[in-house]
A and B are shown apart, each in its own frame.
Chain A
Amino acid sequence: MIIGVLALQGDFREHRAALKKLGIESHEVKANDDLPGLDGLIIPGGESTTMGKLMVDYGMIEPLQKFAKTHAVWGTCAGAILLSKDTGRPQPLLALMDCDTTRNAFGRQVDSFEIEIPVPFLEPAKPDYHLTFIRGPIFSRIRGKAQALLQLPDGKVVAVLDGHLLATSFHPELTNDLRFHRYFVEMVKRTRAN
């Protein structure tokens, strides 16, 4: 199995390091030519406007949309924004998931935070998972077959699943906990089997 990590900007190295710890091969994706042969794709944290602009300039929007029809894709933070349909301001998006995002929904950098909460769908479910939010978005509207996967204690939705597409507002790649990457690898396996 080979998982691609979009490497236009952001913390793609951390995602690759996490996959390596799981024994999964990963490749950087900087152009459309890098997509063939991949079994899944991660869109990392970073700045969504920077990545979006580069995707447009390199004609990557449509090829990525096509790839996502048949492959598992996971976006973290900026990646989640790019997977969503609308952010309420004009910016290029992949618009693949049936949800909207609100950017910087918790405030500016001084409001960035960490929190530990139970995430029962992870394997194993204990201990609680350490979530890191950095100028993170929230999912403001969830429609169709997209479903809220995880909420904070105040009710804010911070993870959404839409078929074989996963979006998280937080950064599992910044922790040493590999459970979210393992969860995605299982998604890739299931999508490949179908």
Chain B
Amino acid sequence: MAKTASKEKVVSSFEVKKGLAEMLKGGVIMDVVTAEHARIAEDAGACAVMALERVPADIRATGGVARMSDPELILQIMDAVSIPVMAKARIGHFVEAQILEALGVDYIDESEVLTPADESFHINKHDFKVPFVCGCRNLGEALRRIGEGAAMMRTKGEAGTGDVVEAVKHARSLFGDIRVLLNLPEEEVMTFAKNIGAPFELCLETRKLGRLPVVNFAAGGIATPADAALMMQLGVDGVFVGSGIFKSGDPAKRASAIVKATTHYNEPKLLAEISRNLGEAMVGRTVDSLSDGDKLAGRGW
């Protein structure tokens, strides 16, 4: 057996922050508002849960300022499940992030679903030991967040609508930008970086890897197994489902079906089987019925 002196432990490097997202791939991260929801999500096969006080559909319905959840609620959810627990901080609210880190959450979502705390600056995520996931609508926004230290991305979609159209738009935009970048001669990359407002080095890295330097999930409007499989076929690494599960008729059944659809996203026969008899989907709101002020995806830059 090997047992010898070693170099020191390195805690919370960017590699281990990114690494947890690697472990979530091919999985579904579910919004939960109680410990009971969290257990239902874990039993249904969620790879992580997002602990929050109100799902996005309710945040829309209630209005008012949406803030970080009560730490008591987050701790109850952390106690209830063995899978990773994420929680949301407002864009730019680095003290909410400090509090979430002190609670020991596994990932912080600097999220446009909450009311932004800063109109100009996102959190400097390199300052934290806990990893961050951030939203994006295109490659420039993704690489700016990664430049600030985000270890995982999610396309924003339009949260709380149950309408997948914006999630598709943002994923297509992101992957389209990457396809353009991959085909550029190297001398054109600097101008490309300038035009999309992204750090040059991260453009080079993306070009070398052929994909984003971190894991990228889809979010915002996914309500059915078919929606989840659609996003997977477009090329995302996994999905966030917010209101889509606990605003539906049979949350446990729908949650389990979306987990299976994310695994078997390119097997239509199985998807047909998985999609049967799930009860009512969330009612939803079409994105084009929202006024610009009600759209969340425009928050952050």
What is A's interface to B at a CB cutoff of 8 Å? 7-14, 30, 45-47, 49-50, 53-54, 57, 77-78, 89, 91, 103-104, 107-121, 128, 132-135, 147-153, 155, 171, 174
Q: In the bound complex, do residue A45 and residue B82 qualify as a contact, i.e. CB atoms below 8 Å apart?
A: no
Q: In the bound complex, do residue A30 and residue B25 qualify as a contact, i.e. CB atoms below 8 Å apart?
A: no
In-complex Cβ contact of B263 among A30, A77, A110 (8 A): A30
Q: In the bound complex, do residue A134 and residue B19 qualify as a contact, i.e. CB atoms below 8 Å apart?
A: yes
Instruction: Name which residue of chain A comes closest to B106, CB basis.
Output: A109
Residues of B within 8 A of A117 (CB): 2, 4, 6-7
CA A85 to CA B104, docked complex, whole Å: 28
Extra 8 A-B pairs, beta carbons < 8 Å, given A47-B47, A174-B22: A46-B47, A50-B45, A89-B82, A114-B15, A116-B6, A135-B84, A149-B2, A150-B2
CA A71 to CA B4, docked complex, whole Å: 32
Tally chain B residues at the interface, Cβ within 8 Å.
48
Q: 15 A–B contact pairs at CB < 8 A?
A: A8-B26, A10-B23, A11-B22, A45-B22, A46-B24, A46-B47, A49-B82, A112-B20, A113-B11, A113-B13, A116-B7, A132-B15, A134-B19, A149-B2, A155-B3
In-complex Cβ contact of A112 among B2, B16, B26, B43 (8 A): B16
Asked whether B227 is an interface residue with its Cβ less than 8 Å from the other chain, the reply is: no
Instruction: Report if A115-B10 is in contact (Cβ < 8 Å); known contacts: A47-B24, A135-B20, A135-B106.
Output: yes
In-complex Cβ contact of A30 among B12, B16, B259, B264 (8 A): B264
CA A19 to CA B68, docked complex, whole Å: 43
Instruction: Report if A9-B129 is in contact (Cβ < 8 Å); known contacts: A49-B83, A121-B2, A132-B16.
Output: no
Scan residues 40-82 of chain B and give those whose CB is less than 8 A from a CB of chain A: 42-48, 82
Asked whether B107 is an interface residue with its Cβ less than 8 Å from the other chain, the reply is: yes
